[in-house]
């Protein structure tokens, strides 16, 4: 069956002309492929993580070790998706305290390069997929859906509301549109 680009074209949700590598806070939601419940189960308003969910938790927590300008904020793992706030900070002064001798330059480092939100999400998906597939013996199988939802957090009120949404998300699992057992979901 051939793909119809007019019918199957993905519409970008990104803000036109916005630089997603600039300092700021970003809310992201990433779903598993086909909304498969891989990461655990909700019981009593909290998630019990599966080994796959534990991998995602570890990969999320490890992001600042790979990207020094990343600060992690509120985060929750749901059975088939995650919500989190990624803060891209201004990079530290790379040259601070460095006094090179004649003809010496500091070696380039990861700090010199500023990665945007897309790279951070790609890394999370790649790192976690490799480990999950290794554990389940399914090398190369997609774990995540192709895209993700993002929202640029514009002020403290927005940040506070999104943090509350993230923290309360497991309490609302029965009503969640990502819950395959919710009769109201449309996928």
> Does residue 69 belong to any structural domain of this protein?
yes
Q: What domain range includes position 72?
A: 24-90+113-172
Count structural domains, the chain: 1
What tens digit of pLDDT does each residue of 117-142 get? 999 999 999 999 999 999 999 999 99
> Does residue 108 belong to any structural domain of this protein?
no
> Does residue 36 belong to any structural domain of this protein?
yes
Look up the CATH number of the domain holding residue 69.
Answer: 3.30.70.1290
Round to whole Å and give the CA distance between 35 and 53. Answer: 14
Average pLDDT over residues 28-50: 96
Round to whole Å and give the CA distance between 49 and 61. Answer: 15
What's the pTM value of the predicted model, to 2 decimals? 0.79
What tens digit of pLDDT does each residue of 7-22 get? 544 454 555 666 667 7
């Amino acid at each position: 069956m051939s793909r119809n680009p007019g019918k199957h074209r993905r519409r970008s949700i990104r803000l036109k002309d916005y630089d997603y590598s600039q300092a700021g806070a970003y809310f992201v939601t990433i779903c598993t492929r086909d909304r498969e419940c891989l990461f655990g189960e909700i019981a009593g308003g909290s998630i019990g993580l599966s080994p796959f969910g534990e991998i995602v938790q570890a990969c999320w927590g490890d992001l600042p070790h790979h990207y020094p300008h990343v600060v992690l904020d509120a985060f929750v793992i749901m059975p088939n998706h995650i919500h989190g706030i990624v803060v891209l900070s201004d990079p530290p002064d790379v040259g601070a305290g460095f006094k090179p001798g004649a003809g010496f330059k500091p070696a380039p480092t990861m700090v010199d390069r500023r990665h945007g939100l897309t790279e951070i999400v790609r890394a999370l998906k790649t790192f976690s997929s490799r480990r999950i597939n290794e554990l389940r013996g399914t090398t190369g199988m997609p774990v995540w859906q192709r895209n993700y939802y993002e929202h640029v957090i514009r002020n403290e009120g927005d940040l506070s509301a999104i943090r509350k949404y993230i923290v309360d998300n497991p309490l609302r699992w029965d009503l969640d549109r990502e819950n395959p057992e919710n009769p109201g979901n449309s996928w």
